[in-house]
Structures are given as structure tokens and as C-alpha cells.
Amino acid sequence: MDARNQGEICLLPQLANKHKLKLYRCCLEEFRQLGYWDKYVQQVQDEVNRLQALAEQ
């Protein structure tokens, strides 16, 4: 494996977190539109906050 591939692999967790954030935000918006707000929605919101904090580091 060359250095370029190693660099791309190092970025995978960041890309995964970015995609999770997009997915979770879409889910939250849909939940809000449907009128859901419970502990599961709060768990998703907590995970979004955690991923945002990781992205800012």
C-alpha cells in the first residue's frame, strides 16, 4: 500500500461521520415533520451533536 492509499484510508472515518451527520439530520427533519419527539429522536440528536463535535476538532 502506498502513502496515497494510506492517506485516503485515514480520511474514511471523517467521511463516514460526514455521511452519518447528513443522514441523521434528514431523519430528524422527517421526525419533526411527522410530529415525533421522543427518547429515540433525542438519541439521534445527541449523536448528531457528538459527530459535529468530532468534525470541529
pLDDT digits (tens, 9 = 90+) for 2-35: 555 555 566 677 777 788 888 888 888 888 788 8
- Per-residue pLDDT, 21: 84
C-alpha cell at 11: 480520511
pLDDT at 41 over 70: yes
- Per-residue pLDDT, 19: 84
Which residues lie below 8 Å from residue 21, measured CB to CB, with a gap of 6+? 48, 51, 52, 55
C-alpha cell at 23: 443522514
Give the closest residue to 25 by CA, choosing from 53, 5, 2, 49.
49
| Rounded Cα–Cα distance for residues 50 and 30 (Å) | 20
DSSP structure class, residue 35: T
Query: What is the number of structural domains in the chain?
Result: 1
- Per-residue pLDDT, 7: 56
- Please give the residue range of the domain that contains residue 18: 3-56
- Per-residue pLDDT, 13: 74
* Residue predicted with more confidence, 53 or 1: 53
